[in-house]
Amino acid sequence: MQSKRNKEWSETYKKVNHSLVEERKALNFNQEQLALFLWDGEEKLEKHRQLSKLYTADPILRNTHHYYDMTREEKMECGFKKLNRMAEVLPEKITYDTVFYHVTTNLGAMPTSLHHAMFELAVRYLGDEEQVDKWLPLILDYKIIGNYCQTEVGHGSNVRVSDSLTIGHRTTIQSEYVIAIYNYIIFSIQLFWQGLETEAIFDKEKDEFIINTPKNSSAKFWPGDLGVLSTHGVVYAQLMIEGKNLGVQSFMVPIRDIDTHRPLPGIEVGDIGPKFGFVAKDNGYVIFNQVRIPRRNMLMRYVNVDKEGKVTPQGNPKVLYSVMMFTRLQLLSGCVAGLGKSLIASIRYGIVRKQFKTAAGKDGKPEERKIIDYQTHLHRICPQLANNFAMAFATRRMYQLYNDMMSNIKTKNDFSQLGPMHTILSGMKALFCHTAYEGVKQMRECCGAAGFSQFSNIPNIIDAISSYVTLEGDSVVMNIQTARSLLKSGRKVIQTGKPLNQLLSYILDLKVILEKGKDFKCEAKDADFFKSEQNLLDLLKWNALLRIGQSLQLFADPKYKDFSLWEKFNEKFQIDLIKMSQAHSYYMTAQFFFEGINHFEKQGNCSNLVKHLRTLFRIFALNHLTKIGAPLAISKYLSPQQFRQIHQQLLQEYTNIRPQMLNLIEAFEYDDNTMVSAIGNYDGNVYERLLEWAKSSRLNEKDTLDGFDEYIRPFLAAKL
């Protein structure tokens, strides 16, 4: 059974490549059930279908291949037009959800995406009630446009620990704690708190703060929506009162005049220039020269500064942490969407494209083989297809855990799941962003020269995904944060026999490895052992636990007793810690995938669909065991012969999933307006479309380019 939109497309398109028609005829599962799962239920799926139709029908919102030929300025103007049109035709106000959907389905960066994703959230959760009531309506109605202004040209998202804040007569809380909450959530807690240099100096006499950039390295650099769009920014600066540094706080700072859009006095602001990707996003810089703002422009939900300069922490800043985790969750969704679109293009192209007469035809004569049927091609695509579905299931589970956590916080004031969620989400953010980035690049290579063309849309996806590895927490930093928690949990299991928390309860089995010692061996009697999903999940678990045990041993080894904890973390064992974090994240992803399939089956979904999902699970597990299973080999838990069996089973699973690859990935229901791909459109008319789009290139609008007659023709006219 085709999904609703796929059925509509099959009936609408008059000329469809016969190879794609045959592949779709082989559909043997309920595609609608899979689409419902991938879009998280009927309501969201129907909204996607309605919006995709609206975007396709609207002449301004509709994507076009001409976008690939635009200059940076033209791409930005195109984004402005679409934003304006969205405000006109959408039935509700533009929100973060609207922006995120647009980013997923649109070509290029979305103007004001950071206005909603960072600026709006910062005001919502850092401002007190009076400040939220004042600024939030202006933000939602686009009366002001803002950015999140933290990173400096000489410093990342890390800040400096300064003096302590005193509360009343009884309690002293280090400013590290208060500041950490903000940055822990919106970007990431750094192992070392190095100094942001922008200053906010309190002028008691005038009841104002003076925002100042003291030197070049202090200039704010990289904030999105700052270069040309923003009228305001939430600026992070060192709070200075009576010459004392009280740590980093956030301040609402006007940047441009609302009427003229010119920089305000004392402010130098502009775009940072060309980048690897995100060419349509105006990442900017700003320099403040003694800029004065009212005292109440400091966001004061958690730290209040009164007219006398008295600083008072207040409320529970943990709420901010829990809410701001949502941004990283959205990145996980973005990874699934980006890799998914590149898979659609590469699988469709792999079916249409035929090369070399190596296949037997119906008449017995050799004929060209679909490139997707070469084993090397399957070896590229099948693991990425499995990765994408594993990430989709794991992301779904992470949203459920996040919602449960938020419910406990709101109803019970229970913050016990914050730590475990941070541990798992940090590792998954690093893993998923790296997996998606490398996966999309591999899909480009699968399509050969056609994938190298911008008309495939895959280079455009690479441009977008490339930033994910760095933004919202660098992957190395994310892995180290996960590693610290894993070490702590491992030590607790060894010392007390109890896990640090239930989400990490698998670490209890570390005791099994310690108890068995050299007798810790795989109990597989034959190759059939590696056909069991439960057995494969257990192998990934043991692989992660061996990494944790190894890291604990390294930190306890007397040979390194003269090294400090920080030296061990940053100079001696950092690579081991990252590999431990990755092994853990692979296992957690597999666990969520495995449990999700079981739940999907219990709901009474199509048995063939469940069978295909289990095949994808086996590909995911088998592939990663061959890539990251070194601890299983070093410990001799698995023998060389067993690793050969794992490899052979992986190749067999490629054959098992091959007939349904197209039908599985098309359950995402990304239409041609979203794909904008000459090689990945639904009809598969690759060569006609590539030639048509090539003819429309701007370089073909005139016979000779500017400068040809002046600089090149003289060569042709010269006599030999």
- β-bridge mates for residue 357, sequence order: 368
Write the CB contacts of 493 (distance below 8 Å, at least 6 apart in sequence). 499, 500, 507, 508, 510, 511
Q: Which residue has the tokens 């708190």?
A: 193
Q: Which of 286, 277, 279 shows the shortest CA–CA distance to 220?
A: 286
Burial class (CB in 10 A: 0-12, 13-18, 19+), 633: middle
Judge whether 582 and 427 are in contact, CB under 8 Å: yes
Phi-psi region of 619 (alpha: psi -120 to 50; beta: other; left: phi over 0): alpha
151 is known to lie in a ligand binding site: yes
Judge whether 612 and 664 are in contact, CB under 8 Å: yes
Asked about 472 being catalytic, the answer comes back as yes
Burial class (CB in 10 A: 0-12, 13-18, 19+), 525: exposed
Q: What is the DSSP string of 640-660?
A: HHHHHHHHHHHHHHHHHHGGG
Cα 75 from Cα 69, distance rounded (Å): 9
224 is known to lie in a ligand binding site: yes
Say which DSSP state 13 is in: -
Helices 31-38 & 42-57 angle (0-180, nearest 10): 90
Cα 410 from Cα 564, distance rounded (Å): 41
Reduced to 3 states (helix: H, G, I; strand: E, B; else coil), residue 123 is: helix
Largest CA distance in the chain: 95
Cα 332 from Cα 337, distance rounded (Å): 9
Backbone angles phi, psi at 369, to 5 degrees: -100, 140
Write the CB contacts of 205 (distance below 8 Å, at least 6 apart in sequence). none
Judge whether 654 and 647 are in contact, CB under 8 Å: no
Phi-psi region of 252 (alpha: psi -120 to 50; beta: other; left: phi over 0): beta
Reduced to 3 states (helix: H, G, I; strand: E, B; else coil), residue 499 is: coil
Neighbouring CB atoms inside 10 A of 481's CB total 24
Cα 235 from Cα 159, distance rounded (Å): 13
Say which DSSP state 530 is in: G
Ordered alpha helix ranges (H), 115-213: 121-126, 129-140, 175-186
CA distances from 535 to 246, 313, 654 (A): 54, 51, 19
Tokens of 485: 């928690």
Cα 178 from Cα 186, distance rounded (Å): 14
Neighbouring CB atoms inside 10 A of 388's CB total 27
Q: Please tell me which residue in 23, 472, 653, 666 is annotated as part of the active site.
A: 472
Torsion angle of the four alpha carbons 520, 523, 526, 527, in this order, in degrees rounded to the nearest 10: -70
Cα 589 from Cα 392, distance rounded (Å): 10
Task: Cite the active site residues.
Answer: 472
Q: Which residues are annotated as a binding site?
A: 151, 224
Q: Which residues are annotated as a binding site for FAD?
A: 151, 224
